[in-house]
Amino acid sequence: MRIALIGQAPFGAAILERLLADGHEICGVFTPPEREGGRPDPLAQAARDAGITLVQPRRWQRRGVVDEEVIAQYEATQPELNVMAFVTQIIPSRVLEFPPRKTIQYHPSILPKHRGRSAINHSILQGDTMTGVTIFWVDEGLDTGPILLQRSCPIGPDATINEVYREHLFPLGVETMSEAVSLVEAGQAPRHVQNEDDMTYEGPWEGDIAQIDWSQDAQAVHNFIRGSDRAPGAWSTINGNRVTLLGSTRASHSGGQAGQVASIDASGMTIICGDGESIRVSTLAVGRDRQEAHEWASANSVEAGATFERVDTE
């Protein structure tokens, strides 16, 4: 089957490799432009290496008006199906509807729960113990189209967003997309309308949003840290230093003031939460400089009894 692949990043490259291995023809690859002087995008580079037509539009449309040059480049590839894998650009409906078999997309949650681009963050932030992947038929809504195929996977009690994606949602997404494309080719792909009664949508979890509220209970703080791990990074301030906290686990210490450091040792920094229970973090970071928590504390004169402060960012 002739497929136009729209996406980017290692996930997009893995989808390209798998669809080629499945015997499909990738007639065109469409990625955002790469940063001048930066690392090549993995999907774009994979397309170059395979000799596949590569188009990198800065945008497909502007203020609702499509870029006719980009559309012409896309239509010239004559795809039977669009596959969307890690798409951050707005794709015009004219493109979505162009192939005779239309467009399918990967989403890292069990839709209709956790619509939006920060689905993995929010599944952990909310304490979910299961998540999964959905391949759905794209319409003009945000993750609202009919469901083609879904597969589930667990979220471990200490798993971070990076771990859940790397160990489960990435490989499961590749397998599920392969299966979904095979169903489309065979004319056996279902279209299950999403139940809007079960729908949740959460906004982007990015920027300066992830300041820790130590008045929350320990489980909520633990979920907050691991659901923000690396991106955007759960942060707080102590002794005037803004730090990002990483590698959270539940700890056994109980009793004390919310935000207070109960202990520091080689295993990490133990911090008390609003319910008197505690969490332990193994790593602290300032910017991109990451250190083991006890080493950072020693270098910055932070000792047991110090307290993380809440900062008004409004």
CA 180, CA 135: separation in Å to the nearest integer?
A: 7
Quickly tell me which residue has 């069990």 as its tokens: 110
Q: Which pLDDT score is estimated for 230? A: 84
Report the CATH number that the domain containing residue 143 is assigned in CATH.
3.40.50.170
Q: Are 243 and 284 in contact (CB under 8 A)?
A: yes
pTM: 0.94
Q: How many helices (H) and strands (E) does the chain have?
A: 9, 16
pLDDT tens per residue, the chain (314 residues)? 999 999 999 999 999 999 999 999 999 999 999 998 899 999 999 999 999 999 999 999 988 889 999 999 999 999 999 999 999 999 999 999 999 999 999 999 999 999 999 999 999 999 999 999 999 999 999 999 999 999 999 999 999 999 999 999 999 999 999 999 999 999 999 999 999 999 999 999 999 999 999 999 999 999 999 999 989 999 999 999 999 999 999 999 999 999 999 999 999 999 999 999 999 999 999 988 999 999 999 999 999 999 999 777 65
Q: Which residues contact 300 (CB under 8 A, 6 or more apart)?
A: 239, 241
Residue pair 1/82 in contact by the 8 Å Cβ criterion: no
> 98 with 236, same domain?
no
Those residues whose C-beta lies under 8 Å from the C-beta of residue 38, and which sit 6 or more positions away, are none
Give the range of the structural domain holding residue 268, as residue numbers without chain letter: 218-309
pLDDT of residue 293: 98
- Shared domain check, 183 and 258: no
Tokens for 273? 């939460």
Looking at the structure, tell me whether residues 271 and 134 fall in a common domain: no
Q: How many folded domains does the chain comprise?
A: 2
Q: Are 305 and 222 members of one domain? A: yes
Q: In terms of domains, do 191 and 257 share one?
A: no
Dihedral angle computed from the Cα positions of residues 42, 47, 48 and 52, in that order, rounded to the nearest 10 degrees: -170
Query: What's the pLDDT score for residue 46?
Result: 98
